[in-house]
Chain A
Amino acid sequence: MAVEYEKYLRMDKFPHYWCPGCGNGVVLKAFIQAVDELGWSNNDIGMVTGIGCSSRASGYVDFNTMHTIHGRALAVATGIKMSNPDKHVVVIAGDGDASAIGGNHLIHACRRNIDITLIIINNWIYGMTGGQYSPTTPTGSIAATMPYGNADPDFDLVNLTIGAGATFVARSSVAEPVMLKNYIKKALAHKGFSVIDAFSNCHIQWGRKNRFGDPVKLVKHIKSVTVSSAKAKRMNPDELKGLFVTGILYENNEKKEYTESYFDMVKRAQAKGGK
């Protein structure tokens, strides 16, 4: 059955302010499809975003939504989740928002394994501010603040979040929206901190500076630098050089989820006497 998108969107807030052809809409659509398949009620979903193009997503969805300050969405989301542990909390963030200014909150949300889903719309650039390089801008590519080619090593957010303790980590891209939806659905259903590293196209701010000003061309480029985990298993390290593996890359259902740990501690505290 077709998804009734209007049920999840604040239709009076459209048209959205993203550029024509932007990948943000593809990720948001995949997210809504996932929510619809899970049958979650709008009332039970909280969406928190930070600052940047992708962070405007919270304004368009008819949930309990907050557009916060740069980098702090996960910290605010932690407060919302801890005060309502039985509700669903989702964060959508850009690559700069999540991994640069918000990097500390990201690693500690992973470490706690709090039941929040983080969808990183990773377009390799600070789009809203005009195309400055982010931690995920490919080394060597051009950015407004790297006019001679990016000298910085780029960040692999999958390795980062697995290393920091997230218990569900998947990578996908706007080039494969159905897989993206499937992974988001699994991430939402996962009990624990889940991360989706969603490669997306910013043909305006990254693309134009790097000969990918056409959105279709850029999506094809994204496709060319990603490889499914099934295929990657049959490739040697040399062949995998410069490629990003997609798929469900880590899943751990053993590590205890944080709200459970916390409220178990509350029970222990209450079992003890005294004030």
Chain B
Amino acid sequence: MKRTVVANGNEMVVEGAIDAGCRFFAGYPITPSSEIAEGMAKRLPKIGGVFLQMEDEIASVACAIGGSLGGKKSMTASSGPGISLKQEGIGLACMAEIPLVIINVMRGGPSTGLPTRIAQADVMQARWGTHGDHPVVAICPATVKECYTETIRAFNIAEELRTPVYVLTDAFLAHLSEKVELPDGKELKIVNRKRPSVKPEDYYPYDTGFGDVPPIADYFSGYRFHVTGLNHDKTGFPDINPVLQESEEERLINKVLRRQEKIATYENYKIEDADIVIVAYGSNALGAKEAVDSARKAGIKAGLFRPITIWPFPSIALQQVAASAKHIIVTEVNLGQMVYEIERIILGGRAVTEIKNGNLIFDTRHPRSSADLTTVLQANGTPIRPNQILSRIKEVA
């Protein structure tokens, strides 16, 4: 049955998580994400799930990893300082290939920063925050409804790829209330991790004979296996063989890259004939959309490209849009992060498709864009206003 609710972004993350099958949450209080923990604390016991407020952020991510190995869809949620603390644990989940969803309600930083105010300054942390080469998927919902739908998608990707997935919202979206129509539960597409069907003695947790995302057994299900944060062989036991480790490290990266066409979703808005393309993500795209509408009313051919998944970035889709654009305006609520990635993609004309024997394989089918690139950036704790973007559109038009 369809439901109509009035809710904010944090509440919709909770609804999405519950509907995705999340039954394990471990967190620690932090502004502006605390309502997610409060919502999970209220909902999970009702359905027999586990909610734990741990002693710190590090314990929270570690505990959620344990919950996931125990067979439950697991999540943790935090914001800037807490996400910084969780990084080592996130790396463990990448390396040991344990499904996990991490919500980061982005706030101003660095350090304690602006706890109650909007920022989008953790997008590069999401990509590179934990040490070492690692795969990452990060999703940036723009609306309250997307906080619901994209949290479900985050669980689906985490389960399918055996990897941590970030959902990056922000302080503004977290507390923005909207009327939202939620889909009928029966219409939802829910993905569950692949579990082994072989005999226990034939099971290995990292056996690529079963594909680049091997099945993962629940602890205590009769499939006894070993998990480590060290580089390992198919049995999960530590290994330092350079040949095996090169292929295993590359497999981790490629399991995301090879599925990027499916994962890297985006929205094109009034883009068909656009000379001026705004690139905006997350809640900042709401203002950008309004600026595009105002520009159109003034007879300016402006459009919006909105990555919904930011890692992997929908590179080819952006290149297609950028090829015919005269001006690209990147706007983000930080002092310039994603703009460097966008510059590389459109001006360099290169999109990475996979890594093979130490070579990055590029898709160079799409020409380099000759558009000029400008930015509308702001990191003062307030949202970027549509007028600020509109002014820039008018300047370059």
Q: Is the CB of A80 within 8 A of B219?
A: yes
Instruction: From A66, A77, A83, give the contact of B226 (CB < 8 A).
Output: A66
Nearest Cβ on chain A to B116's Cβ, whole angstroms: 27
Q: B376 in the interface, Cβ–Cβ < 8 Å?
A: no
Q: Is the CB of B66 within 8 A of A76?
A: yes
Q: A5 in the interface, Cβ–Cβ < 8 Å?
A: no
Given the known interface contacts A13-B237, A80-B67, A84-B219, the answer about A108 and B228 at a Cβ–Cβ threshold of 8 Å is no
Q: B286 in the interface, Cβ–Cβ < 8 Å?
A: no
Interchain CA distance A65-B236 in the complex, whole Å: 10
Instruction: From B58, B66, B229, give the contact of A83 (CB < 8 A).
Output: B66
Q: Is the CB of A104 within 8 A of B56?
A: yes
Complex contacts, B66 vs chain A, CB 8 Å: 48, 66, 75-83
Interface residues of A (CB under 8 A from B): 10, 13, 42-44, 46, 48, 58-59, 62-69, 72, 75-84, 87, 104-105, 107-108, 262, 265-266, 269-270, 275
Nearest Cβ on chain B to A16's Cβ, whole angstroms: 12
Of all chain A residues, the one with the shortest Cβ separation from B48 is A266
Chain B CB count within 10 A is highest, among A72, A76, A79, A80, for A79
Q: Is the CB of B238 within 8 A of A76?
A: no
Q: Is the CB of B58 within 8 A of A44?
A: no
Interchain CA distance A67-B66 in the complex, whole Å: 11
Instruction: From B54, B56, B89, B226, give the contact of A59 (CB < 8 A).
Output: B226
Interchain CA distance A79-B92 in the complex, whole Å: 15
Instruction: From A64, A68, A107, A108, give the contact of B54 (CB < 8 A).
Output: A108
Interchain CA distance A108-B26 in the complex, whole Å: 14
Q: Is the CB of B46 within 8 A of A79?
A: no
Complex contacts, B46 vs chain A, CB 8 Å: 269-270, 275
Of all chain A residues, the one with the shortest Cβ separation from B23 is A83
Chain A CB count within 10 A is highest, among B46, B74, B222, for B46
Complex contacts, B246 vs chain A, CB 8 Å: none
Q: Is the CB of A64 within 8 A of B55?
A: no
Complex contacts, A77 vs chain B, CB 8 Å: 66
Q: Is the CB of B220 within 8 A of A108?
A: no
Q: Mark B33-70, 1 if CB is under 8 A from A, else 0.
A: 00000000001011010101011101110111111111
Complex contacts, B63 vs chain A, CB 8 Å: 75-76, 78-79, 82
Given the known interface contacts A78-B66, A83-B66, A83-B71, the answer about A62 and B26 at a Cβ–Cβ threshold of 8 Å is no
Q: Is the CB of A66 within 8 A of B227?
A: yes
Q: Is the CB of A84 within 8 A of B70?
A: yes
Interchain CA distance A83-B224 in the complex, whole Å: 16
Q: Is the CB of B220 within 8 A of A79?
A: no
Of all chain A residues, the one with the shortest Cβ separation from B230 is A67
Nearest Cβ on chain A to B162's Cβ, whole angstroms: 15
Q: Is the CB of A72 within 8 A of B89?
A: yes
Complex contacts, B89 vs chain A, CB 8 Å: 69, 72
Nearest Cβ on chain A to B203's Cβ, whole angstroms: 12
Q: Mark B14-46, 1 if CB is under 8 A from A, else 0.
A: 000000000010100000000000000001011
Complex contacts, B62 vs chain A, CB 8 Å: 68-69, 72, 75-76, 79, 105
Complex contacts, A104 vs chain B, CB 8 Å: 55-56, 59
A-B CB proximity, top 10 nearest: A79-B66, A83-B70, A75-B62, A269-B45, A75-B59, A79-B63, A67-B228, A108-B55, A79-B67, A76-B66
Nearest Cβ on chain B to A151's Cβ, whole angstroms: 28
